[in-house]
Structure 1
Amino acid sequence: MDSLGLFILLLLLCFQGTAASDANKSPWTYTGSVGQSQWSEYFPDCGGTSQSPIDVVTTQTKYDPTLSPLTPLGYNQHGSKPFTLHNNGHTVVIELPEWMGLGGLPWLFTAVQMHLHWGNGGPDHGSSEHTINGLSADAELHVVHYNSELYPNISAAMRQRNGLAVLGILIVTGEETNLAFNNILSYLSRIRNADQKAFIPAFDVQSLLPKDLGSYYRYNGSLTTPPCYQGVIWTLFHEMVQISKAQLLKLETILYASRAEDHEKMLLQDNYRVTQPLNRRVIFTSFSGESRKELTSGEVTAIVIGVMCGCVGLAVIVRFIVKTIRSTSSWDILPSNRPAPTPRTKEPETAKEKQQDVVLNSTTEGQKTEESSSFLQTEP
């Protein structure tokens, strides 16, 4: 090979190395050249067989009676030190103090941070990461913990099996304002641009969670963002949390994925990963399907109408029975069927009088006989 060919070869190798280095340093996004469909090219774990999020098909889950309710540790003991709110260009992150943790798992897990995933306010609701039977919620909250019994920090734990534990809370919209979420949403204007941070008043983190912490789905998965390490114990709560439509709209429209100095502004929206294949994993539930069957609004309406109709029908039947009983047992309403009482006669008195007459007659005749006898005896 001549010197020119060697020079060209070295130039190509240098170019390829620089391109690979630039690709590894490139900030990942949810769409675009380093979007989620290309994550596995730069972050190999993102192409693994135990990725998150997933679609939970409830008919394919397995009930595990050994799964106990989770116990938040120190969630409501926020102290006086403020929390840090951070826009990292991918989501809004709330850093949590180290005294917060999670019980109810095989190991003790220490809280690290929590963050949100949401959509773009459009008509297509596909804004949560996890889905239930193919249906998406409007947003999703994740609370991240690391295994503090086995590892010294999250950097060491996140690469290991069972190193992390993440709580997933599905969020839906309604008419009522969720005051707990205002502890976060009210301060988003302070971190509108990527890489901005702000201190916010500490608050009760447990108020963000659903009331029922004993009903959930459990499976082994991964981080839902690069580097997608597959050492996460996932707990997705069955009960969803509700915020108002105005609160969701604020979350969807106030933050930017771009920095303050960037000329092109880009809203931070649709920051959710599509569901990943379940492969051979099993999704366990802490509740049985019979005891926790979720009724649709149509089923609830049908049950209410059925109960009301049943009550009305029962009232009509009872009234008819009572009316029938009264009509057949009242002597004042219908003619009596009893035989008329037989009027008393004077026969017994007449017989008695005749008997007395006989006695009197016999007595008179006896007296007459005695008188006759006496008269005969006194005759000379």
Structure 2
Amino acid sequence: MDSVGLSLSLILLVLQWTHIQAVETYWAYRGSAGQSKWPEYFPDCGGSTQSPVDVETTQSQYVPSLGPVIPLGYSQSGNVPFSLSNNGHTVMVPLPPWMGLGGLPALYTAVQLHLHWGNGAAGASGAAGSEHTLNGQRTAAELHVVHFNSELYPNMTEAMTQRDGLAVLGVLIETGEETNQGFGNILNYLGRVRYAGQRVSIPAFDVQSLLPTDLGRYFRYNGSLTTPPCFESVLWTVFAETVKISEAQLLKLETVLYSSKPGDSDRLILEDNYRTIQPLNLRTVLSSFPTESAKVYAAGEVSAIVIGALCGCVGLAVIIRFIVKTIRFFKHLHNERIVVNRSTSSWDVLPSIRPAPMPRTKEPEKEQKQDVALSTTSDLGKREEPASPGQAQA
């Protein structure tokens, strides 16, 4: 009985250990093994420096010494095909070891890239699926490019457990009108890895085509992996400039993949694979540029703002010129009025006191006097005329 009891105890322990191991290796974003349960089986997931976080742009600390991120070998795809896989949590592309990252405190070697997204329910509150948020706003999706510190550690496995072991680039993705050819190198092959565990070879491509144009504007902080085991070993770089993919590309990402395996009876759509925002606690988010505005703009928005500002300046200049010309016109008109007034008689200036014209009733008398004067003068002339000789002898 003792041996039988011991055997039963051992069997129960083995079954219990197997169950624990199964629980520890399985996790999900929702359900009984969802995010709220992660700290129970992965203690680091309950740490104080977890990721992702909400980046409040106006609260970040500007550090002028933070230079641009320098991709190394990203464009050297080579002749060896890439591999695309569905691991049940995301789609992932392992990267060749000649790719790396400069502009950081150490040299980092590329490991892999993967995506996070929301769901295909248009207009749903949870449709957006980026992990990091800017000023509380979540974008459509997010790309992560993972690297390990190859100056200090020999591989990813050892580096991921160390405080300074990893560096991850975070690229926020929005939707636009045009198809993104860079992301098309991945999204066009999703139909070949629909189920968890499937893998397919895809043509090698320029990985830098997935990054934003401006690699000098970003936010940086110390955080963690956003999936179990949630090791707090990541130096995060989240770019301020977003990239855009088309609505059709986003819909494909949100609806084509399954988190279940081909033989599973229930096919579960792989969606909403983003972790909720974690407390920042005492951490400070650094920025490589002054963040005077609370909004982070995409490249197209920056161009629109610049063009709008230029148009506004031109319009303001036209308005000022019009006002100046109008003031000069009225000033000139005022001066002309003053000159005219000075050259006008006092009667024209004060017509109300002009005297009334004199009546002309005595004009006939004046004419009569003139006639009398003329007649008198004529008579005098006659009187002074000398007498003729005949008139004098008689």
Q: TM-score normalized by structure 1?
A: 0.79
Give structure 1 stretches of 5+ with no counterpart.
Answer: 340-380
Are the equivalent residues in 1 in contact too, given 2:240–2:297 (CA < 8 A)? no
Q: Deviation at 1:189?
A: 1.1
SS in 2 for 1:144: strand
Name the residue aligned to 1:314. 320
Cα distance in 1, alignment partners of residues 117 and 293 from structure 2: 31
**CA 11–111 in structure 1, closer or farther in 2 if over 3 Å, else same:** closer
Please give the alpha-carbon distance, in whole angstroms, between the structure 1 residues aligned to 2:78 and 2:4. 69
1:154 pairs, out of 139, 153, 156, with 156
Query: What is the aligned counterpart of 2:244 among 242, 246, 254?
Result: 242
Indicate the residue corresponding to 1:196 in structure 2.
Answer: 198
Tell me, in whole angstroms, the C-alpha distance in 2 between the residues paired with 1:47 and 1:229.
10
Name 1:20's counterpart in structure 2.
20
Counterpart code for 1:23: V
Residue equivalent to 1:57: 56
Q: Mapping of 1:280-359 within 5 angstroms? A: 280-290=282-292, 294=296, 307=313, 310-321=316-327, 323-324=329-330
Cα distance in 1, alignment partners of residues 59 and 28 from structure 2? 32
Using the TM superposition, give the Cα deviation of residue 169 of structure 1 relative to its aligned residue in structure 2, in angstroms: 0.4
Identity %: 56
Specify the alignment match of 1:75 in structure 2.
74
- Where 2:170 maps in the other structure, the secondary structure is strand
SS in 2 for 1:20: helix
User: Are 2:119 and 1:120 equivalent residues in the alignment?
Assistant: yes
Q: Is the 8 A contact 2:35 2:275 kept in 1?
A: yes
Is this contact kept in 1: 2:170–2:238, CA < 8 A? yes
Shift of 1:81: 1.2
Partner residue, 1:40: 39
In structure 1, the residue matched to 2:367 is none
Instruction: Specify the alignment match of 1:353 in structure 2.
Output: none
Q: Which residue of 1 aligns with 2:391?
A: none
CA offset digits 1:304-353 (Å, max 9, x no partner) = 886576345324324424645776899xxx979889xxxxxxxxxxxxxx
List per-residue Cα deviations over 1:147-169 (Å, max 9, x = no partner).
11111110111111111100000
C-alpha separation in 2, matches of 1:198 and 1:21: 29
How far apart, in 2, do the equivalents of 1:250 and 1:193 lie?
14
SS in 2 for 1:167: strand
Q: Distance in 2 between matches of 1:71 and 1:244?
A: 27
Change (3 A) 1:120 1:294: closer
- Partners of 2:110 and 2:147 within 8 A in 1: yes
Q: How many aligned residue pairs are there? A: 336
The alpha carbon displacement at 1:193 in A equals: 1.1
Query: Are 2:236 and 1:228 aligned?
Result: no
Distance in 2 (CA, whole Å) between partners of 1:191 and 1:247 is: 16
Q: Is 2:84 the counterpart of 1:85? A: yes
TM-score, normalised to structure 2, is 0.76
Q: Which of the residues 273, 276, 296 maps onto 2:275?
A: 273
Find the counterpart in structure 1 of residue 98 from structure 2.
99
The question of whether the paired residues in 1 share the 8 Å contact of 2:128 and 2:140 is answered with yes
- The alignment yields a C-alpha RMSD, in angstroms, of 3.2
Aligned in 2, Cα 1:17/1:233: closer, same or farther, shift over 3 Å?
same
* Structure 1 residue matching 2:58: 3-state secondary structure: helix
Find the counterpart in structure 1 of residue 135 from structure 2: 133
